[in-house]
């Protein structure tokens, strides 16, 4: 069975901007990892930058085209099944999602509804995968704040960070 690797958008964005996304994903696949992201992360990888490219297309066409290329590389990787988009079971994990939103809103002194969905969904995906497969889940991110939030679940989930701290 493949090892489960939850990858944060930051890694995928940087690699796609550098034109190295497919190579990275094929490498991970060869190393026996299945790369997974939650649906909220897929949206911020594709929908948000696409809107940004449309917004700046008239004033900065070269930059808009660069962003579009990066989005297309991610889109193609999802189409080719190099990245699998997973839906979170919100019914089962609603309490964890609520607690995470509370924790993150306290960090930034912002109302809970203003918390972006990507952070709680990434952490819940790790928990959901661990509950389902009962094996160590691998995580790839450079985001120390996100790892800090994940650390509070270290007693509940066995995970290993491949990048970052």
- The residue ranges that bind other proteins (CB under 8 A) are 8-10, 13-15, 17-20, 23-24, 27, 30, 44-45, 48-49, 51-52, 56, 60, 62-63, 66-67, 104, 107-108, 110, 114-116, 118-119, 142-149, 165
Of 59 and 91, CB closest to other proteins:
59
Write down the least CB distance from residue 133 to other proteins, Å.
25
Of 83 and 146, CB closest to other proteins:
146
Write down the least CB distance from residue 148 to other proteins, Å.
5
Q: Which residues, 6+ apart, have CB-to-CB distance to 15 below 8 Å?
A: 21, 24
Write down the least CB distance from residue 72 to other proteins, Å.
14
Beta bridge partners of residue 38, listed in sequence order = 86
Write down the least CB distance from residue 98 to other proteins, Å.
17
Tokens of residue 17, six digits? 């901007």
Of 15 and 88, CB closest to other proteins:
15
Rounded to 5 degrees, what angle do the CA atoms 104, 107, 110 make?
Answer: 75
Write down the least CB distance from residue 5 to other proteins, Å.
14
Of 92 and 114, CB closest to other proteins:
114
CA-CA distances (angstroms) from residue 90 to 38, 69, 128?
12, 32, 10
Of 48 and 131, CB closest to other proteins:
48
SS (H, E, C) 94-123: HHHHHHHHHHHHHHHCCCHHHCCCHHHHHH
Between CA 152 and CA 131 the distance in angstroms is 16
Rounded to 5 degrees, what angle do the CA atoms 113, 55, 84 make?
Answer: 60
């Amino acid at each position: 069975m493949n090892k489960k690797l939850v990858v944060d958008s930051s890694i995928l964005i940087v690699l796609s901007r550098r034109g190295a996304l497919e190579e990275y994903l094929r490498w991970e696949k060869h190393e026996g990892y299945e790369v997974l992201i939650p649906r909220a992360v897929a949206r911020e990888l594709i929908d948000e930058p696409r809107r940004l490219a449309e917004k700046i297309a008239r004033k900065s066409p070269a930059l808009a085209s660069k962003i579009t290329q990066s989005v297309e590389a991610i889109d193609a990787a999802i189409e080719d099944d190099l990245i699998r988009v997973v839906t979170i079971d919100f019914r089962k994990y609603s309490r964890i999602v609520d607690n995470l939103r509370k924790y993150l809103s306290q960090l930034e002194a912002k109302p809970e509804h203003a918390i972006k969905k990507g952070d709680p969904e990434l952490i819940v995906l790790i928990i959901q995968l661990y509950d389902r497969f009962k094996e160590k889940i691998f995580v790839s991110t450079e985001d120390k704040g996100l790892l800090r939030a994940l650390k509070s679940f270290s007693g509940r989930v066995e995970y290993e960070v491949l990048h970052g701290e």
